[in-house]
């Protein structure tokens, strides 16, 4: 399975502390899935890229949106594990433009996912989702990283 952590906005520089931390968590995910990041200047560019991500099945688009579904870490792990077990090849977790997702983007998504009711800076949201992906994989594998509290 391949995971992409995408965002609409500027590419991050090598000195970006949040990006460095995000990369650490994505590297920790590497025993479980291939992970990488993508940056797009516009929502349209992201949607075009998504449409070209073809394998046996289209990529699963999960858009981070404050109005989306909220889950516990355990429920998120169960959701991710179910997609893995169904044979999903590629899941894209995408953070949208500052103005929010357009209706066509929301319509394209398989899930709208919320990290909570707070508004987060894009860099912080990327770090949080990267850590939650790692946490989900450790929950699924029985690793002690997640102690349940």
Please report whether residue 148 resides in a domain.
Answer: no
Please report whether residue 82 resides in a domain.
Answer: yes
Give pLDDT, residue 149. Answer: 60
Q: Report the number of distinct structural domains present in the chain.
A: 1
Q: Which of 39, 42, 54 minimizes the C-alpha distance to 126?
A: 39
Q: Which of 52, 64, 53 minimizes the C-alpha distance to 1?
A: 53
Q: Please report, in tens digits, the pLDDT of each residue of the chain (149 residues total).
A: 999 999 998 776 667 889 899 999 999 999 999 999 999 999 999 999 998 887 778 899 999 998 999 999 999 999 999 999 999 999 999 999 988 999 999 999 999 999 998 888 889 999 999 999 999 999 999 888 877 66
Please report whether residue 146 resides in a domain.
Answer: no
Backbone angles phi, psi at 93, to 5 degrees: -100, 120
DSSP SS3 for 110: coil
Give pLDDT, residue 71. Answer: 97
Please report whether residue 147 resides in a domain.
Answer: no
DSSP 8-state assignment for residue 10: P
* CATH number of the domain that residue 11 is part of: 3.40.1280.10
Give pLDDT, residue 92. Answer: 97
pTM of the model: 0.92
Give pLDDT, residue 145. Answer: 84
Please report whether residue 31 resides in a domain.
Answer: yes
Please report whether residue 63 resides in a domain.
Answer: yes
Give pLDDT, residue 131. Answer: 97
Please report whether residue 106 resides in a domain.
Answer: yes
Please report whether residue 149 resides in a domain.
Answer: no
Domain housing 121:
2-141
Give pLDDT, residue 119. Answer: 87
């Amino acid at each position: 399975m391949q995971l992409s952590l995408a965002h609409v906005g500027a590419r991050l520089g090598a000195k970006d502390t949040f990006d460095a931390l995000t990369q650490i968590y994505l590297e920790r995910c590497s025993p479980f899935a291939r992970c990488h990041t993508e940056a797009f200047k516009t929502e349209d560019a992201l949607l075009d890229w998504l449409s070209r991500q073809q394998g046996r099945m289209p990529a699963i688009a999960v858009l981070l949106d404050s109005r989306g579904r909220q889950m516990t870490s355990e429920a998120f792990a169960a959701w991710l594990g179910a997609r893995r077990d169904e044979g999903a090849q590629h899941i894209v977790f995408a953070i949208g433009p500052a103005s929010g997702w357009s209706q066509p983007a929301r319509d394209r998504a398989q899930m709208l996912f919320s990290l909570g009711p707070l508004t987060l800076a894009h860099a912080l949201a990327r770090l949080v989702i990267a850590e939650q992906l790692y946490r989900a994989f450790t929950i699924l594998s029985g690793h002690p990283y997640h102690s349940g509290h």
